[in-house]
Chains A and B, each alone.
Chain A
Amino acid sequence: MTPLSVWIDALTESTREVAVTSLGFDDISLEELLAGLPEAHTGVYLPLHTPSGPVQIALMADIPGCRSLAGALLGMDETEELGDADVADAVGEVLNIVAGSLKTRIQEHERPVQLGLPMYVVGHVFPQDDIEGMVAKVKVGAIPAELMVLRQRIPPPEAL
């Protein structure tokens, strides 16, 4: 089973690529790497089907952060307003592009990987005890954001 650290590294690098090429930022900075769940609870989840089982990736930020990410994708300036549906759609597309890049980066470890459709979530996530996760706290340009990988923990062989 591919370690979560490999997943989160690949997700961070894919986000860096998309931030520079599609969002117009110079770079992203990795602030902190944490085991567990993110503090922010607004953002987009996207399911991946992998040979090791289902994996969820997420791009999360506060609501102004999501608006800024959406505006960056659409090439809008700070004064232009986006509706909630447009923000959800655009941030979903950001993660969709990230997921495409991630699929290429992770194929040495997980192949084939199938991408699901992104879903914008505002609220808390309460995973079950057998779900494990890792979070990378990053800044996309100046926007604080969190990247997350979630998956079901595989029980040790003696427990099977």
Chain B
Amino acid sequence: MKILVVDDSKAMRMIVLRTLRQAGYGDHTLVEAGNGVEALNALRAGPYDLVLSDWNMPEMNGIELLRNVRKESIPCKFGFVTSEGTPEMRQTALDAGALFLIAKPFTVDGFKETLSSVIG
């Protein structure tokens, strides 16, 4: 399985990658992108099975990325890993086609619980 981790913070990408490994997903191919534009280009060149994206990013934010992915019918599962987890944002994410929203701060167990239902 190929997973794309999208965040403008290098520190947070490192933490998400580390958490994925600790959650047992270290055997998958993990790829990084620094914003929505980079991620969309990577997805066009794909294929990727899962995208884990931040919401607030320069260039193209996470929800714009998701809407572009769906508009271009790029096949992949999509979830947010973001510092904002209000009910309104969760609903916006789900309405746009996201499968989940993991709010920071997160735990390894939280990742496992959410991702196990999405990628097994």
**Interface of A toward B, CB cutoff 8 Å:** 17-18, 21-22, 70, 73-75, 86, 89-90, 92-93, 96-97, 99-101, 103-104, 107, 112, 115-117
Which of chain A's residues has its CB closest to B82's CB? A100
Identify whether the interface residues of A are mostly helix, strand, loop, or mixed: helix
Q: Report chain A residues within 8 Å CB of B31.
A: none
Q: Report chain B residues within 8 Å CB of A93.
A: 9, 11-12
Please report the C-alpha to C-alpha distance between residue A50 and residue B93 in the assembled complex, in whole angstroms: 21
| Interface flag for B85 (CB, 8 Å) | yes
* Given A96-B56, A117-B58; A74-B11 close (CB under 8 Å): yes
Please report the C-alpha to C-alpha distance between residue A49 and residue B58 in the assembled complex, in whole angstroms: 16
Expressed in whole angstroms, the minimum distance between the Cβ of A133 and any Cβ of chain B is: 23
| Interface flag for B14 (CB, 8 Å) | yes
Expressed in whole angstroms, the minimum distance between the Cβ of B104 and any Cβ of chain A is: 5
Q: Which size bracket describes the interface of B in this complex?
A: 20 to 34
Q: Report chain A residues within 8 Å CB of B115.
A: none
11 other A-B residue contacts (CB within 8 Å) besides A70-B11, A73-B15, A89-B10: A17-B105, A75-B18, A86-B10, A92-B9, A93-B11, A93-B12, A96-B56, A96-B83, A100-B103, A101-B105, A104-B86
- Option from A86, A100, A103, A115 in Cβ contact (under 8 Å) with B11: A86
Expressed in whole angstroms, the minimum distance between the Cβ of B89 and any Cβ of chain A is: 9
